[in-house]
Amino acid sequence: MKIMMTGFEPFGGESMNPALEAVRRLPDWVAGAEIVKVELPTVYGRAGEVLEEAVRRELPDAVLCVGQAGGRSGILVERVAINLRDARIPDNGGRQPVDEAVREDGPAAYFSSVPVKRMVAAIREAGIPAFLSYSAGTFVCNDILYSLLHLIARERPAMKGGFIHVPYATEQTVDKPSGTPGMELGTIARALERAIGAVVEAMAEEIAEKRNK
């Protein structure tokens, strides 16, 4: 089994992105699955192009994209992607779309196809705060989740796809207002490993169930 993990480059004036750094810290194998790591640009449209190229090259069984959600206190497993680009700040290419569709030919929303509640439970069992989220926002994080699920719907229906938001890394909070939450990169990476494990376990059970029919 092959799992693709993606992380975004830094954006919004930050010198690092904890999503990318945590993905880089993952071992090459987790829960018996090969881990492929991909860096994505924080740019509307281009991120989806890079993802599609990587998927067609690697042919993973599942893709988990990871992004930064500064100000959050725990790991967020996203359940929904909406067909909307509405940027509070410009992306790294200088684009700041307002009320624009991610895909003109796409539905209003897609649901993640990974076991989101199981992932949250697995992360919490490791003593790491994690929550189910019903909004990935309208920035490039939502954009990539929607693009991924649109790709799955059009080309790779057997592939699973989802998105995880992570807090600021602890070192990012040094110059931020008092009380800004952060999490150690090692803890974020451990949470990602637990999430991967939940995905692998669920997919293995699904395969076994199909074989027994």
Which residues belong to the active site? 78, 141, 165
On whether the CB atoms of residues 2 and 52 are closer than 8 A, the answer is no
Q: Round to whole Å and give the CA distance between 206 and 181.
A: 37
Q: Round to whole Å and give the CA distance between 180 and 158.
A: 40
- Distances in Å between the Cα of 148 and the Cα atoms of 101, 130, 152, 154, 195 are 15, 23, 6, 10, 18
Q: Round to whole Å and give the CA distance between 194 and 180.
A: 25
Q: Round to whole Å and give the CA distance between 23 and 35.
A: 10
Residue closest to 164 by CA, chosen among 73, 83, 69, 95? 69
Q: Among all chains, which residue has been given the structure tokens 């637990």?
A: 194
User: Checking phi first, is residue 127 left (phi over 0); if not, alpha (psi -120 to 50) or beta?
Assistant: left
Contacts for 127 with CB less than 8 Å, ≥ 6 apart: none
